[in-house]
Structure 1
Amino acid sequence: MHLFRRAVDRLANALAQPKNEFLRDSAIQRFEFTFELAWKVLKEYLELQGLEARSPKAAIRGAFQVGLLPEDPGWLEMLELRNLTSHTYDEALAERIYGELPNALERFRQLLQRLEEVEGEDT
């Protein structure tokens, strides 16, 4: 979870900077690896619950199922955004993805908070 927390902080830092093309592209890349860490944290959590998640979509749905995440369609929308990030050479698409990053950051922060709550319940 430490790596995920650090990735969330780095994404937040990128989004706090004045926007330019370089920063936009950097923030999108930070979103990519933050999303990758998020779904892997979900996968790990589900495995501890005795469940299996072999894909990001399965991990998100599993997290909904066990109540780790609220049933928020924004998580599945983030997965779609993540799948589009390889096409950021398209300026309009890069702008669209960048525009969604503050919402993604908020979801990542909520997940971190929820994981900390659950971790506290286990101790």
Structure 2
Amino acid sequence: MEKITIALQNKGKKALDAIATLKMALDDMKSVDRIAQSAGECPKKIYKTFRDSLVQRFEYTFDLTWKYLGEYLKREGRKIEIETPKAIFRESLKTKHLSDDEVRLAIQMVDHRNLTTHGYDEQLIEYICEQISRYYTLLESILQRTAIHKYPK
């Protein structure tokens, strides 16, 4: 019985650590987004540096979020056969953690994340950066909805 209690405590700590890490990543992403929005008035080279930093923060925070959400859904007893970002977001629709509109935005976010990783087109990157504030709002909302549930201590 003691081993089970310790195992539950460790899982709860891991979940809380994941929430804390995700919260820090969201805060960093928002900070860089604010700076990048005002950096448009700076010389082009400085602006591109902030923009590229924003894209990296977006990729990192996105990855943390969908993986965290997948773990959260598994803890809730959901069986996820294919663990991909799109599958996780679609499962979140089934569980009512996300609305239809939010899942559509999340799927767009997945596509944009893949485009930033596997290709680089200046106009596309600019467009994606314009969307990041919307993505941030969704990512933050996911964390707020799921982090309120209590994990084993």
What's the TM-score, normalizing by structure 1? Answer: 0.90
Distance change >3 Å, CA 108–CA 98, structure 1 → 2:
same
1:65 corresponds, among 82, 94, 109, to 94
Separation (CA, whole Å) in 2 of partners of 1:77 and 1:58: 13
**Higher relative contact order structure (alpha carbons within 8 Å, sequence separation ≥ 6):** 2
Which residue pairs with 2:145 in the alignment? 114
Structure 1's unaligned 5+ residue stretches are none
Please report how far the alpha carbon of residue 49 of structure 1 lies from its aligned counterpart in structure 2 after TM superposition: 2.1
* C-alpha contact 1:28 1:98 (8 A) present in aligned 2: yes
4+ residue stretches of structure 1 with deviation over 6 A? none
Which residue pairs with 2:61 in the alignment? 34
Which residue pairs with 1:98 in the alignment? 129
Partner deviation per Cα, 1:52-104 (whole Å, 9 max, x = no partner)? 25111111111111111222210111001111112563210110111110100
RMSD, matched Cα? 2.0
Give the fraction of aligned pairs with identical amino acids, expressed as a percent.
Answer: 32
Structure 2's unaligned 5+ residue stretches are 1-18, 40-46
Which residue pairs with 2:50 in the alignment? 23
Separation (CA, whole Å) in 1 of partners of 2:76 and 2:151: 14
1:44 corresponds, among 57, 71, 77, to 71
What's the TM-score, normalizing by structure 2? Answer: 0.73
Please report how far the alpha carbon of residue 116 of structure 1 lies from its aligned counterpart in structure 2 after TM superposition: 2.9
Which residue pairs with 2:85 in the alignment? 56
The more displaced of 28-37 and 46-55 is 46-55
Separation (CA, whole Å) in 2 of partners of 1:122 and 1:10: 28
The total of aligned residue pairs comes to 122
Bigger Rg over Cα = 2
